[in-house]
Structure 1
């Protein structure tokens, strides 16, 4: 791990060990995994794009407005194109097409616009060009959109927070593929044997896993502590009943597993072993019935089909 990544790891460990009101201390097993990454010299966390630093700083301002956000968008034609495209998507489609950045910002609003920009900037910072990660960012965008939809049904979960967790949760995979020798074979084996425990195999072979690396990346990219912790814990479903962990974090973990189920039923009919193990607990935590899950799945699938 380079010096910058080591500092990020150390800061993340301190962050997760704090007992601030924002995020309570997670279970020690997760903290141990985060600490263990400090001796993996090959692991390289990409630097955060300046535009993303500026965006996160803007979102922390209580009086931020769309004109300030437009100033960030105007620095990159790719950001402008992404905003206009999102505003014209089936999710936000209006009777008249959106043709300008200003119109797109007013259509999407501050939080939705920021979510779209975060997706574009993250994709630029973390390439996923390997055939092993084909359609990685397309799938990440679908996961983020699904998380935001589910958050809106739950009422007490901010959709922009859910969107960002959905976007970031697997970003550790391309980072590990770029940095760690043999991770390409690990990915291949896990895809060919879906019954394997993904995180367990990663730790056995590489002494870390994509949840931990994704959390390190989220911390390096100036994401809020709640997002960082939810990413670190997103395969540790023991946390759902642990009241020492912030409730929003636990709700994000449960919503993410429900989202993965929705996406899996869209892409394939193969059973998900992780859903078999913890799906019922996740639905119970969210107070969601099987019938509601079917309705949500139908609505999300309809949205994806409309965009194809």
Structure 2
């Protein structure tokens, strides 16, 4: 049965068909609404309880106070009757390990409360509610039966033991690096030009225009529903005019890295394309943080966010044999991801990623973000960039779960906020403009 994932800060509506809608929830909240008689229903994926400010530049669908009434109105416009609607609510968890920031903000708890209040005000019965707790979950709406299921979402339990697991040697790690599909030369060129403050986006875009494969993918993306341009784009020159030089360059960089990141498909990814989706979301959030704080150029932060987990591509092939031990360390012992990796592989994905960065001669400013994004205080002169990526990565683990195996030490959050001249109160505004995945 076809399954559609509803991204954060959006809703999806459908008539009856043999398909499923789902959303992966951590601190965020999911609400299903359906009119069984009319054969129509949908799922909304919420990040915040109410608008963070009067500024209208953020996405209104992330906030329960605004988006749930929009969701109800759209269902009724498409044929549902409000008096027949029924609801289910899930999410709003405090994800372990819990930080003081989680307790102070309680974004998920307040979002769930606002959702309940709106549904009660609209006299829509809530058939099922599972909010709070300490674990991620997945909410699913069956579009044939209109049944909603809410199930815990954790790293899948291993089916086998790891009695015969042997830690890879240094030589095996080096051989794994040698055997990887290299990233395209155009990607390396874009990365180096982005790092060079003397290179303009016009110059970088000029390099992209010469790559026929990338140009074709960008044209196809510009004509997709997700971009939603008013006019059909049939040439790379028109794409450049429509989306601008900066967007074209960052889109080209993401596309050029896709094939390389997709090599990590067996161990870390929890769904098809999980690693790539996680990398792009983290890249976009890193860029937004850079814009908010002026601590780094947004395009440099985007690049660092996109590359931050490239070391997982090296270690991914060893995950199958080590998975039971890996599961035990993360889920039972509560180890940080890099600690578990060092115990089992002899090297963390951050160290492996730094080996790749040095091999490809990628600028050290980006290399420090790859190496230190789990421990940003250890970075040298380029310290703001690792802090930007750490915060983006942490927000991803809290609000966009379900893409890949990850566990981040949230006790470093306050230090990162201080390093970026932010405080906990800035997070709702940041989430209001969070990218969809």
Relative to the length of structure 1, the TM-score reads: 0.70
User: Are residue 142 (structure 1) and residue 272 (structure 2) matched?
Assistant: no
Match of 2:429 in 1: 295
Q: Does the CA contact (< 8 Å) of 2:268 and 2:316 recur in 1?
A: no
After superposition, residues 143-182 of structure 1 pair within 5 angstroms as 143-178=282-317, 182=321
After superposition, residues 70-149 of structure 1 pair within 5 angstroms as 70-72=209-211, 74=212, 76=213, 79-84=214-219, 87=222, 94-126=229-261, 127-130=263-266, 132-133=268-269, 134=271, 135-149=274-288
Q: Does the CA contact (< 8 Å) of 1:186 and 1:202 recur in 2?
A: no
CA distance in 2, matches of 1:122, 1:138: 12
Structure 1: state its 5+ residue gaps: 1-38
Deviations 1:67-106 (A, max 9, x none): 332002x1x1xx2344235556899765445443222234
Residues 50 and 91 of structure 1: CA distance in aligned 2, closer, same or farther (over 3 Å): same
**Secondary structure of 1:130's partner?**
coil
Match of 1:41 in 2: 171
Q: Does the CA contact (< 8 Å) of 1:176 and 1:183 recur in 2?
A: no
**Secondary structure of 2:426's partner?**
helix
CA distance in 1, matches of 2:325, 2:231: 48
Name whichever of 186-195 and 166-175 sits farther off: 186-195
Q: Does the CA contact (< 8 Å) of 2:308 and 2:353 recur in 1?
A: yes
Name whichever of 107-116 and 279-288 sits farther off: 107-116
CA distance in 1, matches of 2:361, 2:208: 17
CA distance in 2, matches of 1:194, 1:174: 24
Relative to the length of structure 2, the TM-score reads: 0.51
Residues 296 and 229 of structure 1: CA distance in aligned 2, closer, same or farther (over 3 Å): same
**Secondary structure of 1:41's partner?**
helix
Q: Greater share of strand residues, 1 or 2?
A: 2
| Higher-RCO chain (CA-CA 8 Å, sequence separation at least 6) | 1
Q: Does the CA contact (< 8 Å) of 1:166 and 1:256 recur in 2?
A: yes
CA distance in 2, matches of 1:278, 1:178: 30
1:190 shift after superposition: 5.0
Name whichever of 96-105 and 40-49 sits farther off: 96-105
CA distance in 2, matches of 1:197, 1:210: 12
Kindly report the root-mean-square deviation, in angstroms, between the aligned alpha carbons of the 2 structures: 3.2
Tell me the number of residue pairs that the alignment of Structure 1 and Structure 2 aligns.
253
Structure 2: state its 5+ residue gaps: 1-168, 402-406
Residues 256 and 106 of structure 1: CA distance in aligned 2, closer, same or farther (over 3 Å): same
Residues 177 and 82 of structure 1: CA distance in aligned 2, closer, same or farther (over 3 Å): same
Q: Does the CA contact (< 8 Å) of 1:132 and 1:188 recur in 2?
A: no
CA distance in 1, matches of 2:326, 2:237: 42
* Bigger radius of gyration among the two: 2
